Structure 1
Amino acid sequence: MPSLLIIVFALQVAIYLINTFGAATINSLLWNIYNRLPTPTSQSAAEQRVLKNQFMKIRKELNSTSSQDEFAKWAKLRRQHDKILEKLEKSKAELDSTKANFDKIVGALRWAGTNGFRMFLQFWYQKEPMFWIPKGWVPYYAEWLLSFPRAPLGSISIQAWALACMAIIVLVSDTLVALVALALGTRSTVNKENGESMKVPSGEKQTPSQSQAEKKEL
């Protein structure tokens, strides 16, 4: 069984990722994966994708057809456009209703697997020390805070460990984002300087003395 320290750290990572990317984005990704699997809604989702492709194709052709010069063709495309649009809206309404229920179930499972599980661990192991602090390393009030609320004095409680994990996760995440932004900014600056240095002047400007000398030679 994995160590409780690792479980709490992994749980804090999962919570941070969910809060960073957003529940709606994760639900949308899971919904797309769910529809790719052999599920009750997979066929409806596949039909909706086909209808979307047909709709965009006909709409593009309709916009490129003149209603005055090619009225017969335009009218035929318009009827096809309206027919597919009606089917598409009906299919979308059915899938949206199913997706709403899907989001509720996924949201409940996500909360139970993250925040709910974290609350359970913090309640169940509130008296258990995660690890002990060497004696004399920190003053008494710090020992009391680190063991809050009910862990033995001189130890790290599960609540304090969870807060420390989240602080480290946020610090590492901010550092990585700053490094990536710095690397991209440096690369953009280098490319810009290289592009400017590669520009070749169209011609050299003549000084007044050179111009007079040429006139004298002529």
Structure 2
Amino acid sequence: MPSLLLVVFILQFLLHIINTVGASAVNELLWMLYNKLPTPTSGSAQKAQKLKKEIVQLKRELGNTSPQDNFSKWAKLDRQHNKAMADFQKIDGSLRTHQTTFTSAVSTLRWLGTQGLRFILQFWFAKSPMFWIPAGWVPYYVEWILSFPRAPLGSVSINVWGVACASMIALASEGLAAGWVLVTHKPTPVATEKKREKEEAMAFQADTRSGEKKEL
């Protein structure tokens, strides 16, 4: 059986990763992995990705084609673009319904496996010492703080150990991020990926809105 000290440390580490990357990013990653498997939505997800690429490609071709100089080609591309957009919106609407259910289930399981488990451990082992402090090392009031709320005096409680782990993980993470920026002169991979995903989402949403306006 793994040490309780290690279990608490791993829980705090997982919580730090989730908070750093973002719960929504974790949900999106799990949703992508779910659709890679032979699941009921995998076929629709692959078709949606194919249509998305097709829409972007058709949009570029439309931008490079003059409706005055080559109207027939422009009209053909416009019809293909509108059809692909309509098909994508239909599939995307169905996928979003499934994704909402999936995200709700994943969020519940993630909370139970991290925050929920942490609360249970803190309640169950509230009176159990994580380890003992040598007698006379710290004043009485420090011993009382370290044993808060119900651990034996002179020991470190599970609550205090959890706070210590979270603090050390946060400091180590900030140090690694600062070292990465100093060495590479680039933002961290997480920040770069978030920026790229945001730019792609904004570009595609703009294209989607323009397509909707055209239909109106």
Please indicate, yes or no, whether the TM-score normalized by the shorter chain is above 0.5.
yes
1:53 paired residue number: 53
1:31 paired residue number: 31
1:139 paired residue number: 139
User: What CA deviation, in whole Å up to 9, does each residue of 1:182-212 have, x standing for no partner?
Assistant: 2234xxxxxxxxxxxxxxxxxxxxxxxxxxx
CA distance in 2, matches of 1:11, 1:37: 27
Q: Say whether residues 1:97 and 2:110 are aligned partners.
A: no
2:168 paired residue number: 168
1:168-187 alignment, distance < 5 Å: 168-185=168-185
* Structure 1 moving runs of 4+ over 4 Å: none
1:207 paired residue number: none
1:123 paired residue number: 123
CA distance in 2, matches of 1:135, 1:16: 33
1:15 paired residue number: 15
CA root-mean-square deviation: 1.5
User: What CA deviation, in whole Å up to 9, does each residue of 1:118-141 have, x standing for no partner?
Assistant: 000000000111111111111111
When residues 93 and 120 of structure 1 are mapped into structure 2, their CA distance, relative to the original with a 3 A threshold, is: same
Give 1:53 shift: 2.2
Give 1:62 shift: 2.2
Give 1:34 shift: 0.9
When residues 178 and 61 of structure 1 are mapped into structure 2, their CA distance, relative to the original with a 3 A threshold, is: closer
Larger radius of gyration: 1
Corresponding residue SS for 2:132: coil
1:81 paired residue number: 81
Give 1:56 shift: 2.2
CA distance in 2, matches of 1:116, 1:91: 35
Scaled by the length of structure 1, the TM-score of the pair is 0.81
Code of the residue aligned with 1:131 in structure 2: it is: F
Give 1:176 shift: 1.5
Scaled by the length of structure 2, the TM-score of the pair is 0.82
Code of the residue aligned with 2:53 in structure 1: it is: N
Give 1:106 shift: 1.1
When residues 98 and 155 of structure 1 are mapped into structure 2, their CA distance, relative to the original with a 3 A threshold, is: same
CA distance in 2, matches of 1:15, 1:94: 31
Gaps of 5+ in 2: 186-216
Give 1:52 shift: 1.5
CA distance in 2, matches of 1:182, 1:74: 49
Gaps of 5+ in 1: 186-218
CA distance in 2, matches of 1:82, 1:96: 21
Corresponding residue SS for 2:155: coil
CA distance in 2, matches of 1:110, 1:45: 23
Code of the residue aligned with 1:40 in structure 2: it is: P
